[in-house]
Amino acid sequence: MSAAVFDVPRYLAVLPLFAGLPDADLQGMVREGVTALRLERGAMLLHAGDACDAVHLVVTGHVKLYTVASHGAEKVFELVGAGQSIGDTLIFNQQPYSFSAQALTEALVLRVPAALLTAQVRRDPAFALRLLAGASQRIEGLLRDVESYCLHSGAHRVVGYLLEQGGTAGQGSAEPITVSLPVSKANVAARLSLTPEYFSRVLRELEDEGLIQICRRDIRIMQPRRLARYSLQ
């Protein structure tokens, strides 16, 4: 993990959380401690039990958030990609991280100390509201995941993930769309609380039905509308 040469203020300015902040504020945050980190594939960004003293913003690459049970089983509960954040729901409760974060690919990550965010919240109510909105969206997403794990079949989760990767514009389309898995099939399976074998079996079944075509990590959805209906059968 090493410091990276990167135009941090310019990148922050295009993120919804920091949109509208004066350039002087962004420059000041960088001077006061925002840093850019480069992670090699497999490098740890943080460990469960570490003090939650910063928010991490993923610029490029993918990072998995996971926990490990006492018997050694690993549960991946989020794959964080470009433009997404880590720790924004935790920085104000003064509790340590309850999860670990590891780079699945080479990644560029910005570390924004919690003290800087707290100071910005105190002087800018609009910034505070944007921070709360982002945290609320993250929590809502996690609740949807819990609902899916409890109420939906494995096949339903796989189909939902593929359509989500295809974007909302393509979900009701009759035209083919192609999605690329951002990480390995094993990591996607873990994210969906499935075994790699089950995930691959569902993909084969969908391919046998003529709903998708698979070429390594590229999956062509032949009929998105029909695929969406398939998950409800």
Per-residue pLDDT of the chain (233 residues; tens, 9 = 90+): 444 457 899 999 999 899 889 999 899 999 999 999 999 999 999 999 999 999 999 999 999 999 998 787 888 989 999 999 998 888 888 789 999 999 999 999 999 999 999 999 998 999 999 998 888 888 888 788 788 777 788 898 999 899 988 875 455 666 889 999 989 999 999 999 899 999 999 999 999 999 999 998 899 999 888 898 876 65
Nearest to 21, CA basis, from 162, 160, 124: 124
CATH number of 154-230: 1.10.10.10
pTM of the model as a whole: 0.81
37 dihedral zone (left: phi>0; alpha: psi -120 to 50; beta): beta
Q: Where in the chain is the domain with CATH 2.60.120.10?
A: 2-151
Q: Where in the chain is the domain with CATH 1.10.10.10?
A: 154-230
Name residue, tokens 């939906």.
152
Classify domain 2-151 by CATH architecture: Sandwich (2.60)
d(C-alpha 12, C-alpha 66), whole Å: 26
